[in-house]
Amino acid sequence: MTGYLYQCELALLELAERGWDNATIEVRMELLDDIEFLDPETHTPLELLQSKHREAAGPLSETGKDFWRSVASWIDALKELSDPAAATMPLLRLVSTQVAPRDTFFHLLRSGPDRDVRKALARIEQIASDADGPGTTAKDRALFMALTPERRYQLVNAMIVHDGAPVMSDLNPSLAKELGITPSGHAEAALDAIKGWWYRMAVELLERKNPQRMRASVGAQELACLRDEVLHRYAEKDLPITETLRNLTEAELAGYEDQLVVSQMRWIDLPDDEIAMHLRSYHHARAQRSAWLRTFKITSERLEEYEQELHYEWERTFRRHTRRLRNGTPDAERQEVGQEVLDDTMDKVAGKPARHGSTTAAWIGHGTLHGLADQAATAHPDRALGWHPDYTDLCKQREEQDQ
């Protein structure tokens, strides 16, 4: 069980390390290998990684199952990739918590000045062809020797042995360092937040049956965005505001005329100048949220949480103002109540931060609310909102007229 958990956390550690040099790298798990790093454009593996966790940091065995099962796994994976040529061969990495003795091929396959692929290959071929070798690896050794000499060299040339990796109980300091989490009173909470997100990602990476719950890969940019979000939360840094809150042109206002967001405001008899003011917030908030997502300043998950928090404030305000209404209440009074709902909700959300521990311009919350008001209640019953006490009925009537 520890080995499986180690694989998940090692994937996080490796992605964090690579993200500093290549923000576009992506990772997936348990498809062709334990862990794979992908070319973001072609989605073909740049590296196949075998993860081997042993609590006892003893020596790696040249005849042991860890290595030979890795070899067999790599041969099968490369066949799935149509046996790539040497120029396109992915890196084949064995990461083990055990240590490579100096007199073994493992030591010859480490990175560094002592690396010697031809000596390592000769030693591997010697062990693979030994008739007296252990029966537990006989099939895997035979599979290796069945390759052509050229292919055996290409395979071994692509191998990198990373020995002496930290065991599961020692991973946290390495993770904190690669994630840029400096020692502080909030360091443990920040690391827990990132790891909690990562385990949710891991479940989706490992999902194989439900398409709605699976994801093909996770990118270093996503991790960097989440990392920055968590670190900013504890450092109390604000999201950048790159949009200028200018008045909309007549053409821009006309472009919104047929949208539900405008109908919602007309149902409560809001004057045109106030509608224009609210549309200004809606227009620029939408652009600002898009910029945050595009530049990885915030995650889509956090924006959804933000919308839920705003929706909750609207719901409390809406219920408080409409509970006194009766069926016979005149429409003019209902419109007035709708204006109160709008004004009070806008006041409530003005100080709601889009990211915890930060401050957010009031128009971001105002515009985000109008974005929810622009969603049809029938299509988004848990997210949509309105100002008029009878907005759900009015939305349905509008949809029927448009059909």
pTM higher than 0.75: no
Rounded CA-CA distance 303/281 in Å is 17
Residue 32 scores a pLDDT above 80: yes
Tokens 């949009």 map to which residue?
243
Mean pLDDT, residues 10-24 taken together: 94
Q: Kindly report the average pLDDT of the chain as a whole number.
A: 93
Mean pLDDT, residues 276-303 taken together: 94
Q: Could you give the 3-state DSSP secondary structure of residue 368?
A: helix
Rounded CA-CA distance 364/279 in Å is 12
Q: What was the pLDDT predicted at 76?
A: 96
Mean pLDDT, residues 110-130 taken together: 96
Q: Give the range among 38-47, 56-65, 377-386 with minimum mean pLDDT.
A: 377-386
Please write the tens of the pLDDT for every residue from 337-346.
999 999 999 9
- What's the number of CA atoms in the CB half-sphere (13 Å) around residue 326? 2
H or E segment at 38?
A: strand 35-38
CA 25, distance to chain mean position in Å, is: 12
Enumerate the domain spans of the chain: 2-232, 250-402
Q: Could you give the 3-state DSSP secondary structure of residue 63?
A: coil
Q: pLDDT-based confidence at 86, cuts 50/70/90? A: confident
φ/ψ of residue 91, rounded to 5: -70, 135
H or E segment at 162?
A: strand 159-162
Mean pLDDT, residues 78-86 taken together: 92
Q: pLDDT-based confidence at 159, cuts 50/70/90? A: very high
Residue 239 scores a pLDDT above 90: no
Mean pLDDT, residues 312-317 taken together: 96
Residue 305 scores a pLDDT above 90: yes
Residue 114 scores a pLDDT above 70: yes
Q: What was the pLDDT predicted at 260?
A: 95
Rounded CA-CA distance 48/254 in Å is 54
Q: Could you give the 3-state DSSP secondary structure of residue 207?
A: coil
Residue 318 scores a pLDDT above 90: yes
- For residue 165 the two structure tokens come to 């990796």
Q: What was the pLDDT predicted at 401?
A: 86
First to last CA, the chain: 56
- The beta strands (E) that lie in 216-317 are given as 218-219
H or E segment at 26?
A: strand 26-29
> Which is more confidently placed, 122 or 351?
122
Q: What was the pLDDT predicted at 378?
A: 65
Yes or no: say if 262 and 377 are a contact pair by the CB < 8 Å rule. Answer: no
- For residue 217 the two structure tokens come to 């890969």
Q: Walk across the sheet containing 159-162 and list its strands.
A: 159-162, 91-96, 45-52, 35-38, 26-29, 218-219
Please write the tens of the pLDDT for every residue from 175-213.
999 999 988 778 888 899 999 999 999 999 999 999 888
Q: What percent of the chain has pLDDT over 90?
A: 78
- For residue 268 the two structure tokens come to 């409560």
Yes or no: say if 84 and 70 are a contact pair by the CB < 8 Å rule. Answer: no
Tokens 């930060």 map to which residue?
358
Mean pLDDT, residues 136-150 taken together: 96
In 3D space, the residue among 73, 52, 87, 35 whose CA is nearest the CA of residue 161 turns out to be: 52
Q: Which residues contact 148 (CB under 8 A, 6 or more apart)?
A: none
Q: pLDDT-based confidence at 236, cuts 50/70/90? A: low
Rounded CA-CA distance 9/379 in Å is 39
Please write the tens of the pLDDT for every residue from 342-385.
999 999 999 899 988 788 999 999 999 999 999 876 667 788 89
